[in-house]
């Protein structure tokens, strides 16, 4: 019987670019309300994996199922915050406008926005606590504030699955904690997959951790062993344990 809570099912996915493999034999199931962190080194295939889920990259082999459908059919139910969104600091677009871009899929670029579109944008901006800045120019915000707006843009289509590609890369470490707290609130009614090369930050906040370096190591939990980390990062790692729930993070490498 099909499990309705199994939102993502990848089986034996292989992707290569010009004959060079980026993903090999990747198999994973992701369930409703999972908050999964995928960590791995640069070039490990993290962005590629998210693009497979969105149907933007076609695997050479293997099967992809999102909400029991193919990625194209599922895309309207997925919110996506891509790696390093490009916005010139003087880009003359307000926060409100950036968030409204998330309605293009629903509204069509030429259509006038409906009351419903505006209500969705207001809700999304309030969820990330940026509604108060709605008329400000996007380039005038800090990296952390910009990232909140990009999350709002992904939320305005009211997705059930949120994909985040290195969302904290441009945020300094004190503001990262705030950003992860926001994700902690969002995960109550969303499934979240976040990829990052930053093990230390990610492993504290997510519920489940996978390691990806062309191959994926995942056991449906947040436990990762030194062996898996070393295999993923190809270098010796030092593990520490802290907090009430014992878990391990990479300290330095
Ligand atoms: P990550 O997000 O973990 O840094 P990527 O998925 O971006 O990894 O890249 C995985 C590998 O695939 C890298 O070696 C990268 O150079 C290569 N790659 C990614 N996208 C392309 C592309 N469009 N064309 C050719 N090679 C690519
Ligand atoms: Mg990437």
User: Could you tell me the distance, in angstroms and rounded to a whole number, from the CA of residue 22 to the centre of ligand 1?
Assistant: 7
- CA 9 – CA 74 distance, rounded (Å): 13
Residue nearest to atom 21 of ligand 1 (CA): 17
Ion ligand 2 nearby residues (CB, 5 A): 46-47, 83
- CA 95 – CA 229 distance, rounded (Å): 39
Which pLDDT does position 226 carry in this prediction?
Answer: 78
Indicate the pLDDT class of residue 235, thresholds 50, 70 and 90.
Answer: low
Which pLDDT does position 198 carry in this prediction?
Answer: 81
Mean pLDDT confidence for 220-246: 65
Answering whether pTM is above 0.85, one says yes
Q: Residue 246 pLDDT more than 80?
A: no
Q: Residue 202 pLDDT more than 80?
A: no
Instruction: Please tell me if the CB atom of residue 46 comes closer than 6 angstroms to any atom of ligand 1.
Output: yes
- Residues of the chain with pLDDT > 90: what percent? 61
In Å, how far from its chain's centre is CA 24?
A: 21
Instruction: Please tell me if the CB atom of residue 135 comes closer than 6 angstroms to any atom of ligand 1.
Output: no
If one residue of 20, 26, 45, 54 were mutated to test the ligand 1 pocket, choosing by the most ligand atoms within 8 A of its CB, it would be: 45
Residue 51: nearest ligand to its CA? 1
Q: State the chain's mean pLDDT as an integer.
A: 86
If one residue of 40, 48, 164, 214 were mutated to test the ligand 1 pocket, choosing by the most ligand atoms within 8 A of its CB, it would be: 48
Minimum mean pLDDT among 3-17, 106-120, 143-157, 205-219: which range?
106-120
Q: Which atom of ligand 1 is nearest to the CA of 48?
A: 6
If DSSP codes are grouped into helix, strand and coil, which group holds residue 154? helix
Detail the DSSP E strand segments found in the chain: 6-17, 20-31, 35-39, 61-66, 78-81, 161-165, 191-196, 208-213, 215-217, 239-241, 248-250
Asked if 13 and 206 count as a contact pair (C-beta separation under 8 A), the reply is no
Indicate the pLDDT class of residue 237, thresholds 50, 70 and 90.
Answer: low
User: Could you tell me the distance, in angstroms and rounded to a whole number, from the CA of residue 215 to the centre of ligand 1?
Assistant: 14
């Amino acid at each position: 019987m099909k499990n309705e809570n199994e939102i993502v099912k990848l089986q034996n996915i292989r992707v290569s670019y010009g004959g060079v493999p980026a993903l090999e034999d990747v198999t994973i199931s992701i369930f409703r309300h999972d908050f999964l962190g995928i960590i791995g080194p640069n070039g490990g295939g993290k962005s590629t994996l998210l693009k497979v889920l969105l149907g933007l990259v076609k695997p050479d082999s293997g099967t992809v199922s999102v909400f029991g459908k193919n990625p194209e059919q599922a895309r309207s139910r997925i919110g996506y915050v891509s790696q390093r969104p490009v916005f010139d600091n003087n880009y003359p677009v307000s926060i409100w406008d950036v968030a409204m871009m998330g309605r293009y899929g629903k509204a069509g670029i030429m259509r006038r926005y409906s009351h419903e579109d505006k209500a969705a944008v207001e809700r999304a901006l309030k969820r990330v606590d940026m509604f108060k800045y709605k008329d400000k120019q996007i380039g005038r915000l800090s990296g952390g504030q910009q990232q909140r707006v990009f999350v709002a843009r992904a939320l305005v289509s009211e997705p059930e699955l949120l994909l985040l590609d290195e969302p904290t890369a441009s945020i300094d470490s004190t503001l990262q904690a705030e950003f992860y707290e926001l994700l902690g609130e969002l995960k109550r009614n969303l499934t979240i997959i976040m990829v990052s090369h930053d093990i230390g930050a990610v492993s504290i906040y997510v519920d489940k951790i996978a390691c990806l370096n062309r191959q994926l190591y995942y056991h449906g939990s947040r436990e990762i062993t030194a062996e898996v980390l070393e295999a993923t990062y190809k270098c010796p790692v030092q593990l520490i344990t802290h907090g009430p729930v014992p878990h391990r993070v990479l300290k330095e490498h």
